[in-house]
Amino acid sequence: MVHDHTTTSSSSKGAYLSSMVAAIGGFLCGFDTGATGGVLTMAPFRQRFFTNEHPSSSSSSEYLEGSFLATYLMMAAIGSFSSGYFCDRWGRKYTIIHASWLFCMGNLCIAVGSNLSLVLVGRMLAGGAAGLMSNAIPIYQVEIAPPQVRGRLMSFFTLMSIMGQVAGYFVTFGTSYLMTSTDWCWRTPYLLQCFVSLVFISCMLPMPLSPRFLIAQGRIQQALATLKELHGSIAEYDSIQKEISMIDTTEKATLTDLMLGPVHRYQFWISVFIVTATSMTGTAAVWYYAPQIFIAAGLTNVSSSIAATAGSGIVSLIATAISLGWWIDHLGRRRLFLWGSAVMSISLFTVGVVFAHGGDPSTAALGMIIISIYVFIAAFAATWGVGTFVYPAEILSTRCRALGLAVVYGLSWVYSTLIGYGVPFFLSRSVAGVFFFFAACTATSIIGVCFIPETKGVALEELQPLFHSL
């Protein structure tokens, strides 16, 4: 057994490398999330695009602020929903590469933008690219990975997304501190995204195509050679041949099969519940508007608020790494969801109470808000943040996984669009009300989690009976 394990580990170097390179796309998506909140607080950016164009209307400023975020998220949803078509037409690898080019062009439009229209066009292009990448990359990773390390390789995308968020926070903190009064404080983060996109493309070009795509194109010998390159030596020939035959005989599912079919509907609707509950924790609102929330709590200095947000990114990164390394397989998915919902709802409620108390913000109140938000972020990252990627991918069968994840994660982008667009209006009226609302939604999710099957330690082929018995 030791020899087999060593052989498997050493023979999977190609799959590890390809998966790690593809995960750079997660870094790009995460970087935008981390940078956006900081950019929206920068005075030169607000004066150029919000104050100067609508100097007498605070509601117009809130509308434009929401539009800046919502255009990105709306196009990300469209990109996610359409990713299945492009993955089948261009292949997983070239969908990722084309999306990265689109992401680069979108961020270039923002970086050089002199008016809001060009900036919003850039946000639309970058958002559509992010939606494509966020689906195509996990599918690519699943299809190139040997079964023994598939979960581990998929975790690279999650970790790189969090690392991108942290990098986005620190870059905007640095530019807000060093370039306070110039447009370069907000242009620089987007120029950096262009540079990373080009690096990503150059690294992705030599990577192999997905064996599943090659088989769909009838290129069987090339698919066999690719599987041998990714999975090991000729000693694995028989298992590779078996994998090819399994792939070749798998039929595609339809949307009707997913939503109404007796075989797949339970897994699909449970997956929809998972992404809905994840979105209603309010994590998107906290990630995108954390600097504004910290300013409302009493951190009047923009750089200080961005620094506090960067600290939350580090907390998220550590919690995610710990969960992927131990918690999710030790505690199980359902218990992780339950504990996460309980801790997050208490943290959100605490923040709401402190804001509702009103009055001039004190040091103690500010400390309580920061600690509670950090606890919320840690709890989310270690539980729902990991589980929302792992659980749907586990329970959806091979036949419907690509289509199912496209729909499920596309829906997640839709939720983020609605939250991102609406939160600025509600924050300007009642910060406490926003946190009370998300606290109630998070607490309610506990009821639904009690009814989902536990998948810890269950082989993928043995999961179907768990859902047929519901």
Task: Check whether residue 154 and residue 269 sit in a common domain.
Answer: no
**Residue 226 within a domain:** no
Last residue of a domain, which of 171, 191, 207?
207
To the nearest 10°, report the CA torsion of 225, 226, 229, 232: -80
Taking the C-alpha atoms of residue 289 and residue 279, their distance in angstroms, rounded to an integer, is 15
Tell me the pLDDT of the chain (470 aa) as tens digits: 333 444 445 567 888 899 899 999 999 999 998 888 788 878 888 888 876 544 444 455 666 777 788 889 889 999 998 887 888 788 889 999 999 999 999 999 999 988 888 999 999 999 999 999 988 898 888 778 776 666 677 778 888 998 998 899 889 888 887 777 788 889 999 999 999 999 999 999 999 998 877 876 778 788 878 877 777 644 444 555 555 565 555 556 678 878 887 777 888 999 999 999 999 999 888 877 877 788 888 777 766 777 787 788 889 888 888 877 666 667 778 888 999 999 999 999 999 999 888 655 667 788 898 899 999 999 998 889 888 877 887 788 767 777 888 889 889 989 988 887 788 788 888 889 999 999 999 999 999 999 888 877 665 556 667 776 65
| Domain membership flag for residue 224 | no
User: Is 164 inside any structural domain?
Assistant: yes
Integer Cα distance of 107 and 53 in angstroms: 22
End position of a domain, from candidates 207, 242, 267 = 207
Residue 221 maps to a domain: no
pTM: 0.78
Are residues 172 and 271 located together in one domain of the fold? no
Reading the block at residue 33, the tokens are 């999330």
Angle at 381 between CA 292 and CA 392, to 5 degrees: 120
Q: What is the pLDDT of residues 399-435, one digit of tens each?
A: 777 788 888 988 998 998 888 778 878 888 888 999 9
Per-residue pLDDT at 56? 45
Alpha-carbon distance of 307 to 325, in angstroms, equals: 27
Is residue 80 domain-shared with residue 177, that is, in the same domain? yes
Per DSSP, 453 falls in state P
Q: Give yes or no: residues 79 and 193 share one domain.
A: yes
Q: Residues for the chain: how many in total? A: 470
Residue 144, domain member (yes or no) = yes
Q: What is the CATH number of the domain that holds 443?
A: 1.20.1250.20
Residues 6+ apart with CB under 8 A from 103: 28, 125, 126, 129, 130, 133, 193, 197
| Same-domain check for residues 323 and 469 | yes
345 domain-assigned: yes
Residues spanned by the domain of 470 = 253-470
Statement to judge: residues 201 and 260 lie in one domain: no
Q: Mark whether 301 and 189 lie in a shared domain.
A: no
314, 166 Cβ separation under 8 angstroms: yes
Residues 129 and 30 in one domain: yes
Same-domain status, 199 and 308:
no
Q: Please indicate, yes or no, whether residues 201 and 336 belong to a single structural domain of this protein.
A: no
Q: How far is CA 89 from CA 31, 66, 86, 386, in A?
A: 28, 34, 5, 30
Return the pLDDT at 148: 64
Q: Quick one: 158 and 287 in the same domain?
A: no
Q: Round the CA-based radius of gyration of the chain to a whole number and report it.
A: 22
Is 271 a member of any domain? yes
Chain centroid to Cα 93, Å, comes to 19
Burial of 368 (0-12, 13-18, 19+ CB in 10 A): middle
CB 230 within 8 A of CB 12: yes
Task: Note the pLDDT of residue 105.
Answer: 97
Burial of 273 (0-12, 13-18, 19+ CB in 10 A): middle
Pick the last residue of a domain from 175, 207, 239.
207
In a domain, 402, yes or no: yes
Q: Within this chain, do residues 137 and 193 fall inside the same structural domain, yes or no?
A: yes
pLDDT on residue 6: 43
Number of domains the chain contains: 2
Q: Which two tokens stand for residue 56?
A: 């007498």
